Structure 1
């Protein structure tokens, strides 16, 4: 195949039982002003008609895949299947309930083309309601990227891979998403990329995070924070993070566990988690607590911290 005919960008969407939300997601991709892309949608064993709906799409840019025997294997496995079929030199990973902003692909292709040392670029995003009306922006106007893995490990401020465009050669270097994680795999993924390449913030309006009824349950939150400890262990073994960074991140994880245990009325475990957090990093425990108590809906970190 002629190199000029290959897509520059591969957009990948994993989908499980989102037939009600997926059409808008698909439209946000297919309506991009930048045209040199392929759109890979991976159905993860849906039972709500998603697979049948996908197979009725008549657009050569859309490529539909599923797992063997249409098995449900989780979001990471679905994204990895998409990555194995991706032919673009850049990759966007967009959840099936989120939206790309107009100009997202064009803006970030330009950044990566001009900056070969950058392995990942991300832009401004907005939380939106079910009617796509803006609720709040994800980053303040003063936001700057320091390309420091320590900061990303501590604060998890890149709340969704949908904000990002990745250089596929860097993904090949760090490896695909961790399939044993059914939560927090996105944080692990962007962290590994930040450890081996430069990351950049473009300021380009690129992403809409749709808030809807399918919120994360208490059990889902518990899995996320428990996986956070595994991610921290792997990060410490992989990269020379200072001990202070690791200790402070561990404090945040115990704080978040305490919140979930309290929500589940597991008060003994909640108290133990809060006390452990305070011993590890008293000042950060207070800061995180105040931040969540003030206006949690305005904090990037309350989505995926």
Structure 2
């Protein structure tokens, strides 16, 4: 395939890929980056002490745009992202993931979007879902989400659904946003990406590219499938929501509480009950403490009972 020449008026971009035991999916992920129609990028890859042959594969790559690094010990996702952000040299930083595949126009789509919308702090694209065999299982269905999302609109979406992007692989962040809010919170294990989005949205509009630019892989080995991480997820999400509630106006704060009680807090409440029923009383107590410190347990219990009655 003959690649398009880079347009002179388009800015450059850094693509950053954290790798840890990428397995069977890493090669396709890397190749999808190298085969982009937009070619003016640097590609930073940081291996977090892989033990499955990923590092040996990466060492064989010869593309001059690749900057290959390896940690001396395993550091975790958000440390790796921060290190690559600090070492990158572009005004746009495209986050990437070892499981997923870019469509050929992905990088061009992000670069051209930010060129047309310089006020945006970070953008995310729609995405299609594939399984572990690369088969398409779900295509993006357009909705009414606007291309430019205000602080208020972002807050409402976050209160109801959590992270607006839902992943790191379909996200591109500007250097000016990092300069304003800082890097990822490395104390977080799960929700630092959500935290970053909320921090950026306090100061910048959010951009949404209304077409699929990546294929997101859904498979059984992903971290998000491991139940032991739910308690971290709840703890960190509640930290993010506390920050979000702190910068929206009073009417939006009230609406946000309602949305949280309807969906997110309801889900966390059911995790608490499930832990209790399974005899994991220590875990149930942790959920109870987190929820009671964030909201009224009486109100959450009332909402849960209403939900149960509706299902009868």
TM-score per shorter chain, which class? 0.7 to 0.9
Relative to structure 2, which stretch is displaced further, 239-248 or 111-120?
239-248
- Contact 2:168/2:193 (<8 A) preserved: yes
Aligned to 2:303: 282
Q: In the TM superposition, what are the counterparts of 1:192-271 in structure 2 within 5 Å?
A: 192-215=199-222, 216-237=225-246, 240=249, 242-248=252-258, 250-251=260-261, 252-261=263-272, 264=275, 265-266=278-279, 269=284
The answer as to 2:97 corresponding to 1:95 is: yes
**The residue matched to 2:39 in structure 1 has which SS?**
coil
- Contact 1:41/1:64 (<8 A) preserved: yes
Identify unmatched segments of 5+ residues in structure 1.
291-305
- Contact 2:11/2:115 (<8 A) preserved: no
Q: TM-score, normalised by structure 2?
A: 0.79
Q: Can you list the C-alpha shifts for 1:52-103, whole angstroms capped at 9, x where unaligned?
A: 2212211111111123xx2111100000011011111111111211222221
- Contact 1:10/1:92 (<8 A) preserved: yes
Aligned to 1:79: 81
- Contact 1:225/1:253 (<8 A) preserved: no
Q: Return the match for 1:176 from 176, 179, 183.
A: 183
- Contact 2:125/2:213 (<8 A) preserved: yes
Aligned to 2:174: 167
The answer as to 2:164 corresponding to 1:143 is: no
Q: Can you list the C-alpha shifts for 1:242-281, whole angstroms capped at 9, x where unaligned?
A: 4324524653443232343455525873996799485388
Q: Can you list the C-alpha shifts for 1:169-220, whole angstroms capped at 9, x where unaligned?
A: 2122111111011101111111111111111222132121101121321112
Q: Take 2:307 and 2:190, find their aligned partners in 1: how far apart are those partners?
A: 26
Q: Take 1:234 and 1:199, find their aligned partners in 2: how far apart are those partners?
A: 17
**The residue matched to 2:206 in structure 1 has which SS?**
strand
Aligned to 1:114: 116
C-alpha change, 1:186 and 1:248, in structure 2 (3 Å) is farther
Q: Take 2:270 and 2:301, find their aligned partners in 1: how far apart are those partners?
A: 16
C-alpha change, 1:46 and 1:277, in structure 2 (3 Å) is farther
Q: Take 1:192 and 1:137, find their aligned partners in 2: how far apart are those partners?
A: 30
C-alpha change, 1:201 and 1:258, in structure 2 (3 Å) is same
Higher Cα radius of gyration = 2
Q: Residue 127 of structure 1: CA displacement?
A: 1.3
Q: TM-score, normalised by structure 1?
A: 0.81
C-alpha change, 1:277 and 1:224, in structure 2 (3 Å) is farther
Q: Take 1:246 and 1:181, find their aligned partners in 2: how far apart are those partners?
A: 23
C-alpha change, 1:72 and 1:149, in structure 2 (3 Å) is same
C-alpha change, 1:220 and 1:111, in structure 2 (3 Å) is same
- Contact 1:121/1:165 (<8 A) preserved: yes
Aligned to 2:67: 63
Q: Take 1:142 and 1:286, find their aligned partners in 2: how far apart are those partners?
A: 27
Q: Residue 142 of structure 1: CA displacement?
A: 2.1
RMSD after superposition = 3.0
Aligned to 2:196: 189
Q: Take 1:107 and 1:249, find their aligned partners in 2: how far apart are those partners?
A: 33
Q: Take 1:177 and 1:266, find their aligned partners in 2: how far apart are those partners?
A: 35
**Pairs aligned (count):** 281
